[in-house]
Every structure is written in structure tokens, then in C-alpha cells.
Amino acid sequence: MTAHPAHGQLGYLQLPTRDLGRSIAFYEAVFGWTGEPQHGSFHAPGLGGQWSTDLAPATGAGPVLWLCVDDLHPALSRVVAHGGRVHGRPRLDQGARWLAEVDDPDGTRLGLVAPVRTARAQPLLAVRDVEVSSAWYQRVLGLVSDHGGPEYERLLADGVLVLQLHRHDVTHHHGPVVAEPDAPLGNGVLVWFGEVTDFDGVVERAAAAGAPVVRPPHRNPPEGGGNGPSHREIWFRDPDGYTVVVGSPDGEVWE
């Protein structure tokens, strides 16, 4: 902290701990804090502090710190994975934010505040071989597996779910994902990925993977056609015949 905080501002925080290493791992994973094991100190956004073995954990009593997180489900998952506990279901606060109460590994009660989001596309494709398709999308587009397995897959881009894969003949609890199990997969469906900075790399990796090209790299709109989205596109097919469209960032080929 380079300047003295304003009068009345929270300027330093001490948190109880029984295990410094465990506390550092928890707060780094859940909130992105930076812990320093030699002195037990930490740096958080706009705040510094220290873990102390001289303080008793505030288990269900005392003030509650409400800390902001970017996404609700990943934060709750990291709480549990790093020795914490989630208390009940999150609640929607006046339609403006999600609130959830958790304990850190020592039992100190914390509050999580997550933003409310509008609808986000999370397409699910019925595929013949989930693991083959997952490896293909990871190789060509650089997506990251968030589930794995032969029946279902979640694929992330920059930590955000952008694609789901489901084996076409597995019903799970929701029944079949295709209305006609014997019909060809991929017909009439375009899976669109925009704002892809590594456009040229995708073109190279798609060629190396042997992906059939539907429309080679081209400008949208064509040269001399004005500036519309002014990006490049390539259309090719994935292993199940779905047409995959990859677009460079809008404005990348401005005229």
C-alpha cells in the first residue's frame, strides 16, 4: 500500500488461521489473493493484511466479510476443493447479485458476492465420440476441458463455458439429445466462434487436423464491400460433420 487509506476506509485485515499454508492456498484459489508464507501476509485488491495464529476463528459469529467473485459456480467449487464449506444454496438478492455464505478451512464465515448475468449461449452438440471430438476442439481452437469422459464434456475458452459435447446415444436423466438417432449428425448446424485472435493459427491447425474446408479464409464483407464486421472467417467441418465457423476479431481487417 503506497498511500495511507482514507479516513474510515478498511486499511488492514487480520484473519485467523491454524494452518498458514492451507489458508494461503484457499484464499489464492478462491479470491486470487497473493500470500507470503514467510510472514503470513497477503495482498488483496485494494487491501493488505496478515493471517494470524493468535486469533480464534470466527465460526458462525462476529463480523462477516463479503468478498466479490467473478463467477458463482467456479468460486463455490474452489471453496470446497480447498477445504472450505458452502452453507446452503446461494440466494438472489433483489435480482442484482448472488449471495452465498461459506466457511474458510478454519471455519471463519465469509460471504461471496457474484454478479447476475444475462443469458449466454452454451451450445451442446450430439457427437459420436465425445473424447475424440473434445481432443479435436482442444487442438484446433485451444479450448480447455472442464469435465472429460466418454459421455459428456464441457469446453472452456478463457475460463468461460462455450461448448458442450454429448454422446448421441446416451440418454442420461433427460432422455435422448437427438430426435432421430439414425439421422446424420451436423446437418444444418453452424457452430460459430468469434473474436478469435489466433485466426491464422486456427487455419493452420484445422489443416493439420484434416478438417474439410467448406469456405476458405475470406473477408466479411468482401474487399471493397465496406466495413460491416470487417473480420476474416473460415468455415470447416468437425469430426461429426458440424460446420465450424471461426471469425477473427471484428475490425481486424478494417478498410
As given in the structure block, the three cell numbers for residue 143 are 479450448
Q: Which of 45, 77, 81, 66 is CA-nearest to residue 161?
A: 77
Q: What is the mean pLDDT of residues 26-43?
A: 96
Query: From its phi and psi, is residue 186 left (phi > 0), alpha (psi between -120 and 50) or beta?
Result: left
Domain 125-247 has CATH 3.10.180.10: yes
**DSSP result, 121-162:** ---EEEES-HHHHHHHHHHHH--EESS-SSSEEEEEETTEEE
Q: Which of 205, 209, 199 is CA-nearest to residue 233?
A: 199
Q: Which of 170, 171, 169, 161 is CA-nearest to residue 137?
A: 161
Measured in degrees and rounded to the nearest 5, phi and psi for residue 202 equal -65, -45
User: Which range among 1-10, 117-126, 176-185, 198-207 has the greatest average pLDDT?
Assistant: 198-207
**Location of each CATH 3.10.180.10 domain in the chain:** 12-115, 125-247
pLDDT in the model for residue 82: 97
What homologous superfamily does CATH list for 12-115?
2,3-Dihydroxybiphenyl 1,2-Dioxygenase, domain 1 (3.10.180.10)
Q: What is the pLDDT of residues 205-246, one digit of tens each?
A: 999 999 999 999 999 999 998 898 999 999 999 999 999 999
Q: Can you point out the beta strands (E) in 168-252?
A: 190-193, 213-220, 231-237, 243-247
Q: What is the pLDDT of residues 134-164, one digit of tens each?
A: 999 999 999 999 999 999 999 999 988 999 9
Residue 42 confidence (pLDDT) above 90: yes
pLDDT in the model for residue 2: 64
Place of cell 475460463: 159
